[in-house]
Amino acid sequence: MLAMSENEEEHTDLPLPGSKIQPRGFALALRFHPEIKLERKRGHSFAASLSEYLNIDRNELESHSWSFVEPLPGDPESRLVIGVTPNSLRLEIHLPSRAQEWVEHRFQTVLDTFGTQFQTQLVLNCQATVRGTMPIDGDARTFLAGHIMQMPPERVVQSFRRPVHLIGLRFFFPPFRSGSNEPDESAENRIDWSASVRAESLLEDPTQLFLEAETDWFEPTSWNEALSRTVIDRLATTRRFLEENVRDFLQPGADVPDEP
């Protein structure tokens, strides 16, 4: 609950100095065309291809969806999950214990294998998600309410007359073109992806701040040899956005840049 503790005066309720975002999950989701038929025989063939470089623990092959799960070292809940529907592919790693480069290589290999086996032609849109946590010296609920929202934490308890286990913020950023209204395709003036950001106290441990950035890329892309690298780069862009822009916003006393 959000309440005063005996030792509260000993805590700053701010991010620990020098702390970094600890990865908690990565995901890629692609919607493609044309649709594929989820025949059981094809599912077994795909599972066999995956097993050449993944330690698949279990799979489920239904007529409307497939799933393949690989347990990963570290946390008992750490795992890679591959989900397939007739028009989508989703790759997700929960609680990774290895560096992002390892995650990217894992994802890229699965993407290449899927594209080769099913001869998909076009990616209609792509979504990349990065989740992490950041340690707080005290209570993440007090940090968000008092330092970020500029709202006395006691007001939350008094207004709702009940304990508060989670406090959070959410932002949505649309695709964006800076400068004049004239068309300008330069990379410096165009951001062709949207972003949804969550910052909230971790429900199971309020001394941790949970962060999530989810980006969407809506421009259709041919599924060719370069596709997997393009998609992996979007995952890296999402992580940079979380680690740089979002983290900077959450730093106490962060300066607001002047308008150009």
Q: What is the pLDDT of residues 44-57, one digit of tens each?
A: 999 999 999 999 99
Q: Taking 70 as the threshold, does the pLDDT of residue 139 lie above it?
A: yes
Give the Cα separation of 76 and 78 in Å (integer): 6
Q: What is the DSSP string of 168-193?
A: EEEEEE--EE-SSSS----GGGEE-E
CA 82 to chain centre: 15
Give the Cα separation of 54 and 79 in Å (integer): 11
- What mean pLDDT do residues 2-9 have? 50
Closest CA to 241 of 132, 79, 93, 122: 132
Q: What is the pLDDT of residues 56-102, one digit of tens each?
A: 999 999 999 999 999 999 889 999 999 999 999 999 999 998 888 99
Rounded to the nearest integer, the mean pLDDT of the chain is 89
**Cβ distance 110 to 82 under 8 Å?**
yes
Q: What is the pLDDT of residues 164-213, one digit of tens each?
A: 899 999 999 999 887 655 555 555 678 999 999 999 999 999 999 999 99
Q: What is the pTM of this model?
A: 0.89
Per-residue confidence (pLDDT) for residue 53, from 0 to 100: 93
Residues whose CB falls within 8 Å of the CB of residue 43, separated by 6 or more in sequence, listed in order? 59, 61, 66
Per-residue confidence (pLDDT) for residue 234, from 0 to 100: 96
